[in-house]
Amino acid sequence: MYNLREQNENRMKSTTVIAVKHQVEGGSESSIAIGADGQATLGHTIAKSNVKKIRKLQDGKIITGFAGSTADAFTLLERFEEKLGSYSANMKRAAVELAKDWRTDKYLRKLEAMIIAINKDQLLIISGNGDVIEPDNDIASIGSGSMYAQSAALALKKYSPNLSAEEIVRESLKIAADICIYTNHNIIIEKL
């Protein structure tokens, strides 16, 4: 008999990935950064502590972060890179086309992951529900610790306006790692 609880307990748990676009108070232009922790868990056990969940695409012009099944995320990132090639690196158009395929394709529909994609101008959340979200407040977060990291980033942007996007991402991930059991302090950050 199909046991949903057992299936959920045995699959890899999520992570925390956050991207922030921020203009330092008094600065002339915004910076953008994305970061993720390195923990992967299987059930209630840490399976690996230094997974690299950040990937550069298009010669580093687009950076992605993923949460969910690693194999599924790699499959989706390959498809996303193909879409970027087909649409002249237009990130939003490629994301929309990936989300359409992801939702309607019989094989892709079963993949369990989420992606954040950033370029120098924008950040997007892409999901298998057909969502391509350009979030408010220039903060995108996914994974089990995402709401902790997002809350921290919102507060840091508001009350520490002199921090860079990279510093906000780092501090937000540290706070999430202190709270979320599926997030650790092995943090990787990339910026544009």
Give me the number of domains the chain comprises: 1
**What pLDDT digit, counting tens, does each position of 60-78 carry?**
999 999 998 888 999 999 9
As a whole number of angstroms, the distance between CA 162 and CA 179 comes to 25
- Which CATH number is 169's domain given? 3.60.20.10
Residue 190 lies in a domain: no
141, burial (CB in 10 Å: exposed 0-12, middle 13-18, buried 19+): buried
pLDDT at 13: 53
pLDDT at 70: 85
Give the range of the structural domain holding residue 167, as residue numbers without chain letter: 4-183
Residue 33 lies in a domain: yes
Provide the pLDDT confidence category of residue 128 given band limits of 50, 70 and 90: confident
Helix segments in 16-163, DSSP class H: 70-86, 91-104, 146-159
Residue 20 lies in a domain: yes
Residue 192 lies in a domain: no
**What pLDDT digit, counting tens, does each position of 131-177 carry?**
999 998 999 999 999 999 999 999 999 999 999 999 999 999 999 99
Residue 109 lies in a domain: yes
- Residue 15 annotated to the active site: yes
